[in-house]
């Protein structure tokens, strides 16, 4: 079946959500991924939304993290401070983030392009991104794969990845064992090397070559010795995504 790059992103992200785990869900693609995961393989997934919804059963696609659907049949309805405290206490397994820039260590910039005091572009800022990247056990980053986004050094660290490498997160006071887990783009799935903590390509999406990824990355990537091809969306995944989750085609 034919599918769009966005649909592939949603499906790959959904496959990473485990049953019975907690996941900090942001607006857009993470919401669709959570809904797909709940329907297919993770019925006991606990979505957590920034404005207080915990464990909602997502029967209809929310338009934002604070709207009523994020509280539908939830196990708890709290507030933003309680949600961040939950992450700080180590109860959030996965966090989903995006960004304007990312570097080899998974540091994210959503603040400014250019010097902070005289930026070329001022971006939306962190929202809860700093807390998600700092406190969730595993952070999954969803981005479009472009050279201007994948840079050797971000203009501003809004959300810490592995900072400057091994030991840097712990030296900065962040919880040991937390950090970036996967980077999912429209070209590939990447993880982070266990020794150097630099970004490593794990799988290429169907029809994507190594040369394409390297051309659109502004730094040297590591490559897995067991490089694979990302499994494409199945007919069942696409049917549920298109007919039940996003029948209006907002994310195609």
3-class DSSP string for 108-159? EECCEECCCCCCCEECCCCCCHHHHHHHCCEEEEECCCCCCCECCCCCCCCE
CA–CA gap between residue 246 and residue 121 (Å, rounded)? 32
**Residues carrying an active site annotation:** 50
CA–CA gap between residue 233 and residue 2 (Å, rounded)? 9
CA–CA gap between residue 113 and residue 126 (Å, rounded)? 14
């Amino acid at each position: 079946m034919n599918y769009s790059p966005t649909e592939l992103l949603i499906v790959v992200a959904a496959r990473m959500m485990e049953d019975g785990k907690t996941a900090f869900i942001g607006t857009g693609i993470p919401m669709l991924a959570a809904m797909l995961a709940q329907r297919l393989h993770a019925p006991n997934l606990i979505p957590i939304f920034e404005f207080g919804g915990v464990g909602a059963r997502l029967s209809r696609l929310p338009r934002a993290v604070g709207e009523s659907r994020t509280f539908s049949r939830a196990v708890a309805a709290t507030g933003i401070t309680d949600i961040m405290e939950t992450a700080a206490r180590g109860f959030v397994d996965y966090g989903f983030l995006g960004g304007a820039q990312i570097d080899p260590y998974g540091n994210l910039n959503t603040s400014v392009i250019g010097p902070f005091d005289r930026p070329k572009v001022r971006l939306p800022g962190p929202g809860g991104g700093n807390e998600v990247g700092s406190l969730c056990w595993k952070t999954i980053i969803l981005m479009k794969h472009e050279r201007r986004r994948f840079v050797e050094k971000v203009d501003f660290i809004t959300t810490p990845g592995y900072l400057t490498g091994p030991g840097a997160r712990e030296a900065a006071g962040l919880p040991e064992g937390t950090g970036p887990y996967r980077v999912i783009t429209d070209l590939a799935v990447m993880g982070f090397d266990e020794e150097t903590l630099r970004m490593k390509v794990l799988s290429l999406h169907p029809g994507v070559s190594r040369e394409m990824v390297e051309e659109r990355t502004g730094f040297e990537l590591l490559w897995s010795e067991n490089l694979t091809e990302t499994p494409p969306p199945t007919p069942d995944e696409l049917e549920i995504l298109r007919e039940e989750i996003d029948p209006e085609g907002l994310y195609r």
